Structure formats: C-alpha cells, structure tokens
C-alpha cells in the first residue's frame, strides 16, 4: 500500500491510498508534534459508478447536460457507417465564451460523476470552440459566430449523400 501526502495551507492534507479513493487527514499540532487521523466520512467521497457505460447512456447524459445548461441549437449527428472515430457527434452553441466554458466544465464533471470517465478536452481556456471527446460521443460547443464560420453540421450531414 502506497501513501501520498500533500500539504496545503488552506485545506487539510490529502492522503491517497488507492488510485480511486482519497481520504482526508486532519492534522492538529500540539507543542510542535502532529497528531493525525483518517476522516471516516470521506470513505464514501468517490462512489463507484452506478450507470453502465454504453454509447446510448453517454449520449443521453451529454444531451441532458447541455439541456440543463441552456445550450442553444443542439444538433445530434449519427456517425455510424460514416466514420470510425465515434458513434455520434453533438454540436451545440452557448451565448458567450463564459457560458461555453461553463457548459463544457459541467459536462466533464457529470461524466466523471456518473461514469467515472475523464474525457479529452480542447479549447476550454478560450471558450470559443470546445471539443470534448468521450470516445463514442464527440461534443462540440461553440459560440454562435464561430459555429457559423466552421459549419460542422453541414459538413458532416452531407457525408454519405451521393454527389449531384
């Protein structure tokens, strides 16, 4: 068993016992000596995932999260048979860079909480176009002007249609 202790001035140190469970340690200093103990309520701090990870469950969580955060013009594009990179692409808009970044962060938090899934994310710092790759579902969250410029949904919806 390995113990990793981090020190913090504002918060109690954290000791990590396994890669998936963290336990809080409170330290009281009495005349220069430290006394510590494990905070037992922290044992349930990271519950196991209760929802099985399927492509459909992942898509439903993404759509629900975007709806809860007031995303605009949400488009779902089925990529099965068109591309091997993912099963579904979701494209949505936020009204500002702040809303786009916040929607992306909330979606990542919900993915981690529900499925214990850490998605790959690009562009969250600027908030113009955030790409979240969950494996089976790829999510693009844009500001409206950026979305209009790139027109991803037009490009992907036209794939598979015969040329005129």
Distance between CA atoms of residues 36 and 47, nearest Å: 24
Contact predicate 35/25, CB 8 Å? no
Quick check: 140 and 89 in contact, CB under 8 A?
yes
Contacts of 114 (CB under 8 A, 6+ apart): 49, 50, 51, 61
Block means of pLDDT (10 residues each) for the chain, length 164 residues? 43 43 37 37 46 87 95 93 89 96 95 90 93 94 95 77 49
d(CA 127, CA 98): 6
The pLDDT value given to residue 82: 84
Looking at residue 141, its pLDDT comes to: 97
pLDDT at 52: 78
Considering the entire predicted model, what is its pTM?
0.67
Question: Residue 77: what pLDDT?
Answer: 93
The full set of domain ranges for the chain reads 4-44, 55-158
Question: What pLDDT does residue 160 have?
Answer: 53
Residue from 158, 114, 122 nearest 138 by CA: 122
pLDDT at 51: 67
pLDDT, residue 41, reads 42
CATH architecture of 55-158: 2-Layer Sandwich (3.30)
């Amino acid at each position: 068993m390995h113990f990793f202790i981090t020190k913090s001035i504002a918060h109690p140190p954290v000791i990590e016992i396994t890669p998936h469970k963290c336990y809080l340690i409170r330290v009281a200093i009495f005349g220069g000596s430290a006394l510590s103990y494990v905070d037992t309520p922290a044992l349930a701090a990271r519950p196991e995932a209760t929802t099985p990870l399927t492509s459909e469950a992942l898509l439903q969580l993404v759509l629900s999260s975007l709806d809860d955060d007031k995303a605009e013009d949400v488009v779902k594009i089925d990529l099965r048979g068109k591309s091997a990179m993912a099963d579904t692409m979701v494209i949505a808009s936020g009204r500002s860079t702040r809303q786009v970044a916040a929607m992306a962060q909330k979606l990542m938090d919900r993915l981690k909480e529900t499925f214990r899934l850490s998605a790959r994310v690009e562009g969250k710092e600027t908030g113009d176009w955030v790409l979240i790759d969950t494996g089976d579902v790829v999510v693009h969250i844009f500001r409206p002007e950026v979305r209009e410029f790139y027109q991803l949904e037009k490009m992907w919806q036209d794939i598979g249609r015969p040329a005129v």
